[in-house]
């Protein structure tokens, strides 16, 4: 190993695997190093993997990858303490699997992806922690892992949200409680047939439900419920600052979320089999650091490349696409025989041409919009209380929906405020 590698990729998540796979396919000597005992062993998702980016890299990946279910039912549920109002979208997307979303369990999925890297000719080492960088004449020239120095012409840091390597290279994201969300999740086992009947989904199909409101008891965050083949993924994602300010623990939120009458029925009879936690960068473009230096590139969560919109946090495809872009940059650098900052700067060019930076630019203001606490308390409660009155009959003379809405809004939100929030939402949702 004294000669080292052309490229070292640190972290076998979606960004690292996509980068290493792209490099290996191009015949570049690449080492993918992962601190977990196996790829995926340290990883958690609270999201859905949309197929388009991975399909370009590994055509029809869903036929071989351990994806759980192809999502054909999407719901958005607004919760008050006892009620819920939902938007329920159901479709048959079995004829265009490439653009569908898939539920995944990362300990399985990432393991498969790292295996693909090995099959493509990359060297994959798991159970090895990259502790430091090798510096040579002011440029990154490899890594130090378990006391071994492993030289390389270029290092791609894809080591996740707590990227200690990026920090060491001065490319670290400035993480703070107001730009990071904490996700916690339970995997709850249920028989396959029960899941399909309960969620009204087909044999390989799945449902994804996003929650807003009581799931975080009105603080900045949301909840999710995804169907896997033989389990459900249920969790909450809360801004760290909201936990600190409210002195709430996310696990308390998860427990009351599980007791909510709507959620209780979804998970009934299930057995929790795993409890996990992970952080998500949620500050949008504002927190994205410099993405390269001499001999090094940063991709995925390590570079805070996560899109925060009023609809969801999206990181998986941003990780995949940034990993691929980092690898393409390395391919160009190899052709030129120059791994200096100047050549590696093409990385940002590639990201600007793709949805990665375009989306982050378009939704620049979304994280600020999401600081509006009415989104998590007033509006979900209003939706539920209004639905109860509109859909109920109480023996009194009826009023129009508009009259009821005005009554329900009283003391909670003014019409002026509602309109201002709606205007702000135009640019961020």
Partner 1 sequence: MSDMTMEQRLALNHYDVDTEAHIKIKPDVCRECDLRPCLYVCPAECFKFKEGKISFSYEGCLECGSCRISCEREAVEWSYPRAGFGISYEYG
Contacts with partner 1 by CB under 8 A lie at 35-38, 40-45, 105-110, 127-129, 145-146, 161-162, 164, 175-177, 180, 182, 184, 187, 228, 231, 233, 240, 243-244, 247-251, 255, 258, 264, 267-268, 270, 272-279
Q: How far apart are CA 348 and CA 340, in angstroms?
A: 14
In the complex with partner 1, which residue's Cβ is closer, 109 or 224? Answer: 109
Q: How far apart are CA 327 and CA 330, in angstroms?
A: 5
* Contacting residues for 379 by C-beta, under 8 A, at least 6 apart: 78, 212, 213, 413
In the complex with partner 1, which residue's Cβ is closer, 267 or 360? Answer: 267
Q: CB of 160: closest distance to partner 1 in angstroms?
A: 9
In the complex with partner 1, which residue's Cβ is closer, 233 or 385? Answer: 233
Q: CB of 264: closest distance to partner 1 in angstroms?
A: 8
Q: CB of 415: closest distance to partner 1 in angstroms?
A: 36
In the complex with partner 1, which residue's Cβ is closer, 268 or 311? Answer: 268
In the complex with partner 1, which residue's Cβ is closer, 108 or 192? Answer: 108
Q: What is the DSSP secondary-structure string of 48-104? A: EEESHHHHHHSTTGGGTS-EEEEEEEEEEEEE-SS-EEEEEEE---TT-TTTSEEEE
Q: CB of 41: closest distance to partner 1 in angstroms?
A: 5
In the complex with partner 1, which residue's Cβ is closer, 42 or 73? Answer: 42
3-state SS, 214-225, equals: HHHCCCCEEEEE
Q: How far apart are CA 124 and CA 119, in angstroms?
A: 10
Q: How far apart are the first and last CA of the chain?
A: 50
Q: CB of 125: closest distance to partner 1 in angstroms?
A: 10
Q: CB of 346: closest distance to partner 1 in angstroms?
A: 31
Task: Phi first, then psi: give them for residue 307, nearest 5 degrees.
Answer: -90, 125
Cβ contact 295:168 at 8 Å: no
């Amino acid at each position: 190993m004294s000669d080292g590698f052309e490229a070292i990729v640190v972290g076998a998540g979606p960004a690292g695997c996509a980068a290493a796979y792209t490099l290996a396919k191009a015949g570049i000597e690449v080492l993918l190093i992962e601190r977990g005992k196996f790829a995926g062993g340290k990883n958690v998702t609270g999201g859905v993997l949309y197929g388009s980016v991975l399909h370009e890299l590994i055509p029809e990946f869903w036929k071989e990858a351990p994806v759980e279910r192809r999502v054909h039912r999407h719901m958005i549920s607004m919760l008050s303490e006892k009620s819920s109002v939902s938007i329920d979208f159901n479709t048959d997307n079995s004829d265009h699997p490439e653009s569908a979303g898939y539920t995944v369990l990362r300990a399985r999925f990432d393991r498969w992806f790292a295996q693909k890297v090995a099959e493509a000719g990359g060297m994959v080492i798991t159970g090895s922690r990259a502790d430091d960088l090798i510096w040579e004449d002011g440029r990154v020239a490899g890594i130090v892992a378990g006391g071994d120095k492993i030289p390389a012409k270029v290092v791609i840091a894809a080591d996740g949200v707590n990227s200690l390597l990026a920090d060491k290279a001065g490319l670290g994201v400035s993480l703070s409680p107001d730009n990071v969300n904490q996700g916690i999740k339970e995997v709850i086992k249920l028989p396959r047939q029960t899941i399909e009947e309960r969620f009204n989904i087909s044999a390989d199909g799945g449902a994804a439900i996003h929650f807003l409101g009581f799931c975080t008891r009105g603080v900045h965050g949301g909840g999710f419920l995804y169907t896997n083949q033989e389990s459900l993924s249920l969790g909450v994602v809360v801004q760290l600052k909201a936990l600190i300010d409210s002195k709430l623990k996310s696990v308390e939120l998860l427990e009351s979320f599980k007791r909510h009458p709507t959620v209780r029925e979804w998970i009934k009879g299930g057995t929790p089999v795993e409890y996990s936690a992970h952080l998500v960068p949620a500050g949008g473009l504002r927190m994205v650091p410099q993405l390269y230096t001499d001999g090094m590139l940063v991709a995925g969560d390590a570079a805070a490349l996560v899109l925060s919109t009023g609809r969801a946090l999206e990181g998986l495809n941003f990780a995949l696409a940034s990993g691929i872009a980092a690898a393409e940059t390395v391919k160009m650098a190899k052709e030129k025989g120059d791994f200096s900052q100047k050549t590696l700067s093409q990385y940002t060019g590639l990201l600007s041409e793709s949805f990665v930076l375009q989306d982050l630019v378009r939704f620049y203001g979304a994280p600020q919009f999401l600081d509006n606490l009415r989104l998590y308390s007033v509006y979900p409660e209003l939706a539920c209380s209004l639905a109860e009155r509109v859909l109920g009959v109480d023996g009194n003379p009826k009023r129009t929906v508009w009259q009821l809405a005005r009554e329900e809004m009283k003391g909670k939100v003014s019409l002026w405020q509602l309109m201002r929030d709606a205007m702000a939402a135009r640019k961020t949702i």
